[in-house]
Structure 1
């Protein structure tokens, strides 16, 4: 009984936080910025990064970056799909509010795939280009938060997605990069 009460309280807090962050009266610039950040996490940018680093880099270690990202996604995607199916959490735009700014690609929200992917890529980029760590992590955080601002994820969804993506990125680095 105690665990159910704890989970219920966490879910209620998550819903309240969502309603604070998602505001149908948000300024137009915030909606546009959130939309742009969300789009940057759709996947095309990851291919451009991999191709660009592979093509332009003369550093042999940097040649491992595309391999690490691909391996990271090979690890992350099954975890993501299994978690979506297992938790089957209905999106806030389908049960809590009716005016999300985008149409999600599926009906379940936990975990956030955009958050997982963005943090997976950001963690790997931080390893290869540590001088830009704040840029990469700031971008990944922006992608994650944009999903709440747009009305398609709860805050817990993006936190769990970020943890999954970060873990898979670190695991891929451990497998690919020589010690």
Structure 2
């Protein structure tokens, strides 16, 4: 139990450090916008654009298959593990956006973003590597907005990356 308590304490320290920047309104507007790009629109738009650009539906079908597996796994994990969100655990803490569901572990935004990033890099090669900056920014935005602990993001990134190995 000590290991879990230590992990929680590290999570809290990193969370508190990340939310210090929440007082700069222009920064928060940018963070909200980045977080919204992880709402699922990119997971549809990017595969469609790549399929149109390559004049092949293979990438779109691969992405469709990958997310058809990813979304149920995300949902099952969240509802089995039932980790409460930071505002529900940390006294006098609030989030800056309304989360789409009740639980925080793993981060679905981050899981989907890293899966998409991996799919795009596997399709387009190293030229697409900067998409991992976007995926990382989506994960960081979720912590800064107060809806996830850092370990939720780490788990989401890991799961999304591991799932990529199963579909390509």
| Aligned match for 1:64, one of 48, 54, 58 | 58
Q: TM-score, normalised by structure 2?
A: 0.92
Shift of 1:95: 2.4
Structure having the higher Rg: 1
CA contact 1:91–1:153 (8 Å) conserved in 2: yes
CA contact 2:31–2:141 (8 Å) conserved in 1: yes
What RMSD over aligned residues (CA atoms) do the two structures have, in Å?
A: 1.6
CA contact 1:100–1:150 (8 Å) conserved in 2: yes
CA distance in 2, matches of 1:39, 1:24: 18
The within-5 A match list for 1:95-174 is 95-96=89-90, 97-173=92-168
- CA-to-aligned-CA distance 1:97-145 (integer Å, 9 cap, x gap): 4331101011110000000000000000011112334311000000010
The within-5 A match list for 1:28-67 is 28-58=25-55, 60=56, 63-67=57-61
Off by >6 Å, runs of 4+ in structure 1: none
Say yes or no: does 1:89 pair with 2:89.
no
Unaligned runs of 5+ in 2: none
Q: TM-score, normalised by structure 1?
A: 0.86
Shift of 1:55: 2.2
CA distance in 2, matches of 1:161, 1:56: 29
- CA-to-aligned-CA distance 1:2-45 (integer Å, 9 cap, x gap): xx111111111111111111126432222112111110011112
